[in-house]
Amino acid sequence: MNGYELFEAFNRGGVRILRDFFELSPYDVASDGHRLSTARKYARLAKVFFGACDSPRVRRESVALAEQRGLSIEHLEMVDRHAKKLKARGAAWRLRAELIALEGSYEEVDAHGKKRVTEEGGDKPKQKGVRVGRAIDGLRTISITDTQRRITDLEKTIDDAIIDEDQPRSETLLEPFWDLVEGNGTGLIKPEYRTVIALGLEQSAEVFSGEGDDVNVGASDGTTVTGAEIVNAAMEGALGDKLYVGLFHPTAGPVNLYEARFASDKQRTLAMAENLVCPWPDCNVPADRCQVHHIDAHKNGGHTKPSNLTMLCKYHNGVNDDGPRKKRGPGKPKRPKRGKPKRGRMHRHRGKVRLRTPGGKLLGNTHDLSSMGAMDLI
């Protein structure tokens, strides 16, 4: 049995492992060299699936099905994380049963769980406020929760003062933040919508006729904007003296014909409108802070035209595998060699930008704004 087969056996044995953990003391497990915190976590989860509960029949049937399907501990932990948010009698086990029976990937079940908890009113909305943590090793942490617009305007202000972009972002933002707090800066920058807003034709008709108060659209700074905010920004001149319209084809993507080495402002704007956040799976960097990326690498002959451009954050632009050039043979032009990617490479599939993994799977980003870009409005 090789390493991956061992990993698969562990993953398929979630229920059996928890059944044993229910009989064990976390301290005994820790004495065998395991972390006590991990042993306690599994013991708590085992108590959920094998201890006393308010729905024994539902629990019994769900555990049997989970064992039959070979669900992992990680999967069962995710199911429980959603279910325990429901406090009504029997509601938690009904949701556990629903999620255990649901066919789909971990991510798909996770997304369905979040949706169901919201529908059942189990998720508490975040509260605005400032929270200050206790001192640890001479340092303290402060966190601020407020509307996305106020926090984003603050972020843009301190972003504007960054000098060294090679430093970690959290470090470079610290001194500009304190300059602003201590009054050494110029105050908050009035936001100008250089940020791209992706708006469908039907939505734009509602917004600019004054009937789009309930329209919610995505922006490339990582936020959403209401129709009323767009109209107010236009009236205040924050959208500039010109409005640009991008043309997108349902399968080809952004439409344009420029062939320059570097993307023009118009091409960058089209790329931002298509992908409001970095399209690499699980990335949440807004397009405003991304770099223009050639899907087919320029070094391999890729053209600088909208259908071959997308936005990638600095990190994923660096790790994307462009593929090596093919060595020139006698009398043959240089052409790109499509080798197996190490981390994966971006690919346009049916009009939309996806990551092609080393194993050949096509994955999109599941960030909320990824489904609000221009190609999703066609």
Report the C-alpha gap between 81 and 359 in whole angstroms: 30
Looking at residue 49, what is its pLDDT? 95
pLDDT tens per residue across span 330-355:
555 555 445 445 788 999 998 889 99
Q: Which two tokens stand for residue 26?
A: 């976390």
pLDDT tens per residue across span 35-79:
999 999 999 999 999 999 999 999 999 999 999 999 999 999 999
CB 287 within 8 A of CB 152: no
Q: What are the backbone dihedrals phi and psi of residue 229, each rounded to the nearest 5 degrees, phi first?
A: -65, -35
pLDDT tens per residue across span 229-263:
766 666 555 655 555 555 566 666 665 433 444 45
Sorted by sequence, the CB contacts under 8 Å of residue 267 that are 6+ apart come out as: 254, 256, 258, 292, 304, 305, 306, 309
Can you give the residue ranges of every domain in the chain? 3-119, 145-181, 192-378
pLDDT tens per residue across span 130-139:
998 888 888 8
